[in-house]
């Protein structure tokens, strides 16, 4: 006994007599998710760097933002905010060093 299976036929949606498109659905470029994550990480680290570890988190935020922008992230605004916050981290550190004369600072006066 020989059983044959029927091949599924393509269903058309829309007007009768229209053929389904043979083109595949557009795919997200490989690595886009990584660049979106870099943009968000840049923003978070830049924001956190305003409070602690300006010297470390500022340059890391700047670097992540630059890489995300260069690779064409979909979260361009977030990457630009991370870049600005990273620069603000370093400016804040420079201002605190100028006032205190030391790279360490505290809120208590």
Instruction: Identify the pLDDT of residue 68.
Output: 92
Q: How many residues does the chain have?
A: 109
The per-residue pLDDT for range 45-78, each reduced to its tens digit, is: 999 998 888 889 999 999 999 999 998 888 899 9
Helices (H), the chain: 32-49, 54-70, 76-100
Q: What is the pLDDT of residue 83?
A: 95
Give the rounded percent of residues in the chain with a pLDDT score beyond 70.
63
Alpha-carbon distance of 17 to 79, in angstroms, equals 47
Region of 101 (left: φ > 0; alpha: ψ -120 to 50; beta: rest) is left
3-state helix, strand, coil in the chain (%, to 5): 55, 0, 45
Instruction: Select the more confidently predicted residue: 37 or 2.
Output: 37
Average model confidence (pLDDT) across the chain = 79
> Which whole number is the average pLDDT over 78-103?
89
pLDDT at 27: 55
Going by pLDDT thresholds of 50, 70 and 90, the confidence category of residue 41 is very high
Helix or strand run (H / E) with residue 82: helix 76-100
pLDDT beyond 60 at 88: yes
DSSP 23: S
User: Which residues contact residue 80 at a Cβ distance below 8 angstroms, ignoring those fewer than 6 apart?
Assistant: 65, 69
């Amino acid at each position: 006994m020989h059983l044959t299976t029927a091949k599924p036929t393509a269903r058309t949606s829309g007007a009768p007599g229209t053929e389904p498109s043979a083109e595949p659905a557009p795919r997200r470029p490989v690595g886009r998710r990584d660049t979106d994550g870099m943009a968000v990480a840049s923003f978070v680290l830049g924001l956190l760097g305003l409070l602690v570890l300006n010297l470390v988190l500022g340059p890391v935020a700047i670097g992540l933002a630059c890489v995300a922008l260069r690779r064409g992230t979909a979260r361009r605004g977030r990457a630009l905010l991370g870049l600005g916050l990273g620069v603000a981290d370093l400016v804040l550190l420079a201002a605190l060093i100028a006032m205190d004369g030391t790279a360490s600072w505290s809120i208590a006066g």
